[in-house]
Each structure stands twice: as structure tokens, then as C-alpha cells.
Amino acid sequence: MGAALAHALLKAKVSTVVWNRTRQRAEAQAAAGARIAPTAEAAVRDADLVLGVLRDGNVTRAVLEPIPEDAFRTSTIVNFATSTPHAARKEAGWAAERRMSWLSGAIMVPTPLVGQPDSLFLYSGERAPFDIHADVLKVLGGDARHVGTDHGLASLLDTGMLELFFAGMTGFLHATAMVTAQGLKATDFLPFAETMVDILPASLAGLARDVDAGTYPGTEDNLAMELAALGHIVDTSDDIGLDGRFPRVMRDLAAAAVDSGHGGHGWSRIIEQLRKPA
Ligand SMILES: NC(=O)c1ccc[n+]([C@@H]2O[C@H](COP(=O)([O-])OP(=O)(O)OC[C@H]3O[C@@H](n4cnc5c(N)ncnc54)[C@H](OP(=O)(O)O)[C@@H]3O)[C@@H](O)[C@H]2O)c1
């Protein structure tokens, strides 16, 4: 990811210095026009915007910790290492103690989409450094959004978006295991899967409206009906002999809500089930 960010900057003719503990990985960037810093400290001293793209927060801190505080006086650090919201706040607290200008970042695209005008990058922390560096940050991903001053927010939204993404992909794969076990190819199922994806935006908008209102009217759907449908998924999965844990999670959430007397409510009522510890 560090290489992808450096390439995007160089393509946009932004003066770029790179550092990697394995020097030959930085050399590819040098061939594209970057300067190689011999140490992380030299890189920090050479830049007014420092993009940390190390494995995780612990590595980032281990690399930055030995650098004298004065090296950071004129630069803003954007920490792109993926984190939890809690850890991102702790990392930002550590940076604040050292009087660093620090933004918590989250990259929401894979490497091939870095540098594209609609690629989403999230930033949280103080607004001023984001505004100062917005032009360069937009080179990395044109959809650069400052999501709030709480340093945990970029990571929180990243975490939520990833959950949605993996749940969707896992649902697709379980459904694909069912249909391919009965003679269809995954590509036969794909157009049918896509019709469900197409109705999701409207469904999510309805769920969000209900959750914020704290009411789960059940005028368009109801949990008792949905429980029966989810039971069919579990039964079909079991009949074929698949791992049915994924549909069971959904079936069991619906069953618990129905058992608590909410069979007439809509699917949005599941939020109350999820808000309790299992
Ligand atoms: N790749 C993506 O699509 C993507 C998307 C969004 C967010 N991210 C986040 O971006 C960060 C980097 O991801 P990546 O895909 O670039 O991972 P990666 O290819 O594994 O690179 C990790 C980097 O961290 C360095 N590193 C690891 N341990 C180190 C240590 N102890 N001291 C110094 N440097 C160390 C590695 O150096 P060496 O080269 O010497 O090993 C390398 O430069 C991660 O937090 C990831 O979650 C990645």
C-alpha cells in the first residue's frame, strides 16, 4: 500500500521521499522519481506530510518512538495503519503527548484504486491539518473525507464498512455453495445475486430510518415471516451437508426476537437483539 501511495504522489508530481526498513522495496519508488531516506527520522525531517503505512499501530509507534520530538515540529503524520477505534484513540493520545500533528486515516480501497478520483479515504482528528494538506490527500483518493475530530471515527467507519463487505461476500459464498452443490455454476447464480444487491440500498435506508427512530413498524416485512424464510436456508444448507453456521446466526437472531414477542416487528428490530451480549 505504501508503494501505491508513493506512485500516486509521484504521478501527480508531488515531491516524495520514501523510507522502508527493507531498502530494496523503496528502490522501486526511487526508480519512479522518489528520494530514499536512509532512516525513518530522515524521512520525517524531509517532509511536511508523513504517511505512515506500516503493518499496524504497534509497528508505527515502534518506528516513530525513537525519533526526537523536534523532528515532528513542522510535519503532520497521517497514520494509515489499520486499527480499532479504541487503539486509534490511544495512538492519537500518544502522539498528542509528543505534540505531533496527527491524523488517523483509513484507506477504503485496494491498491489498484489508489489515486482514483472517486476512491474513498477517511480521516479523523483535528480538522486544520486535514484542510492544510487536502490537495495532496486528494491525490491519494479523490473522495477524501474528514469524518470528525474524534480520532476513533475513521477506524470505526472502516470497521463497520468492512463488516458489511465481509458479511455480503460470505452470504454470497454460502448461497453459491448451495447452488453449485445442485448443479449450477457460480456464474449462473451471479445475476440473481446481483438483483438482491440492487435492492439493498433501499433496504439499508429503511433500517437506518427505523434504528434512528427506535421503532420497528413491520409494515413491509415481519420477523415471523422472515424466521420461516431463514429456516429454509438453514434446512437447505443442512440437506446438502454444508457448514450452516452463517445462516444459523441470522436464523437464531430472528428466533430470539420472535421468542421475545416481536414477531410482528420488521427486520430492523434485530438491532435490539444485537445490542445485547450473546
Ligand atoms: N493493502 C491494502 O489493500 C490495504 C488497504 C487498506 C489498508 N491497508 C493497511 O495499510 C497497512 C499496510 O498494509 P500493506 O498491504 O502495505 O502491508 P504489507 O505489504 O505487509 O506492508 C507492511 C509494511 O510494514 C513494514 N513493517 C512491518 N513490520 C515492521 C517493523 N517491525 N518495522 C518496520 N517496518 C515494518 C513492512 O516493511 P518490509 O517491507 O520491510 O516488510 C512494510 O513496509 C496495514 O495496516 C493495512 O491494514 C492496506
Give yes or no for residue 249 having a pLDDT over 90.
yes
Q: What is the CATH number of the domain that holds 249?
A: 1.10.1040.10
- Do 125 and 25 have their domain in common? yes
In a domain, 94, yes or no: yes
Q: Is 23 in the pocket of ligand 1 (CB under 6 A)?
A: no
- Do 96 and 193 have their domain in common? no
Specify whether the CB–CB gap between 107 and 121 falls below 8 A.
Answer: yes
- Do 44 and 110 have their domain in common? yes
- pLDDT on residue 141: 98
Give how far Cα 241 sits from Cα of 44, 183, 238, 244, Å.
56, 15, 5, 8
Q: What is the CATH number of the domain that holds 62?
A: 3.40.50.720
Q: Is 81 in the pocket of ligand 1 (CB under 6 A)?
A: yes
Structural domain containing residue 85: 2-149
In the structure, what pLDDT confidence band is assigned to residue 205 with cuts at 50, 70 and 90?
Answer: very high
- pLDDT on residue 220: 87
For residue range 219-240, list pLDDT tens digits in order. Answer: 889 999 999 999 999 999 999 9
Say which residues have a Cβ less than 8 Å from residue 85's Cβ, sequence separation at least 6: 152, 153, 155, 156, 159
Bridge partners of 148, per DSSP, are: 124
- Do 188 and 262 have their domain in common? yes
Q: How many CB atoms lie within 10 A of CB 88?
A: 28
How many domains does the chain divide into? 2
Q: Which three cell numbers stand for residue 86?
A: 479504541
- For the CA of 22, the nearest atom of ligand 1: 40
Q: Is 162 in the pocket of ligand 1 (CB under 6 A)?
A: no
- Do 27 and 136 have their domain in common? yes
- Do 196 and 72 have their domain in common? no
In a domain, 154, yes or no: no
Reported as type and span, the H/E element at residue 126 is: none
- Do 96 and 226 have their domain in common? no
Over residues 197-203, mean pLDDT: 97
Q: Which of 97, 24, 91 is nearest to 62 (CA)?
A: 91
Q: Which three cell numbers stand for residue 215?
A: 421503532
- Do 140 and 21 have their domain in common? yes
In a domain, 236, yes or no: yes
In the structure, what pLDDT confidence band is assigned to residue 278 with cuts at 50, 70 and 90?
Answer: confident
**218 burial type by CB count under 10 A (0-12 exposed, 13-18 middle, 19+ buried):** buried
Q: Which of 149, 171, 197 is the last residue of a domain?
A: 149
- pLDDT on residue 153: 98
Q: Which three cell numbers stand for residue 1?
A: 500500500
Q: Is 22 in the pocket of ligand 1 (CB under 6 A)?
A: yes
In one-letter notation, the amino acid at residue 228 is A
For residue range 100-134, list pLDDT tens digits in order. Answer: 999 999 999 999 999 999 999 999 999 999 999 99
Q: Ligand 1 centre and the CA of 54: distance in Å?
A: 4
- Do 144 and 190 have their domain in common? no
In a domain, 163, yes or no: no
The rounded mean pLDDT for the chain is: 96
Q: Which of 91, 125, 149 is the last residue of a domain?
A: 149
Q: Ligand 1 centre and the CA of 53: distance in Å?
A: 6
Give yes or no for residue 173 having a pLDDT over 90.
yes
Specify whether the CB–CB gap between 41 and 23 falls below 8 A.
Answer: no
- Do 121 and 209 have their domain in common? no
Sign of CA dihedral 129, 135, 140, 146: positive
Say which residues have a Cβ less than 8 Å from residue 177's Cβ, sequence separation at least 6: 237, 240, 242
Q: Ligand 1 centre and the CA of 268: distance in Å?
A: 38
For residue range 65-85, list pLDDT tens digits in order. Answer: 999 999 999 899 999 999 999
- Do 11 and 110 have their domain in common? yes
Give yes or no for residue 277 having a pLDDT over 90.
no
- pLDDT on residue 123: 98
Q: Which of 53, 56, 20 is nearest to 38 (CA)?
A: 20
Query: Ligand 1 pocket test: which of 27, 53, 121, 155 has the largest number of ligand atoms within 8 Å of its C-beta?
Result: 53
In a domain, 188, yes or no: yes
- Buried-exposed string 98-135: b where 16+ CB fall within 10 A, e elsewhere: eebbbbbbbbbbeeeebbeeebbbbbbbbeebbeebee
From atom 40 of ligand 1, which residue's Cα is the shortest distance away?
Answer: 22
Specify whether the CB–CB gap between 128 and 76 falls below 8 A.
Answer: no
In a domain, 56, yes or no: yes
- Do 203 and 136 have their domain in common? no
- pLDDT on residue 165: 95
Q: Which of 157, 134, 146, 8 is nearest to 82 (CA)?
A: 157
In a domain, 169, yes or no: no
- For the CA of 56, the nearest atom of ligand 1: 45
In a domain, 160, yes or no: no
For residue range 2-40, list pLDDT tens digits in order. Answer: 999 999 999 999 999 999 999 999 999 999 999 999 999
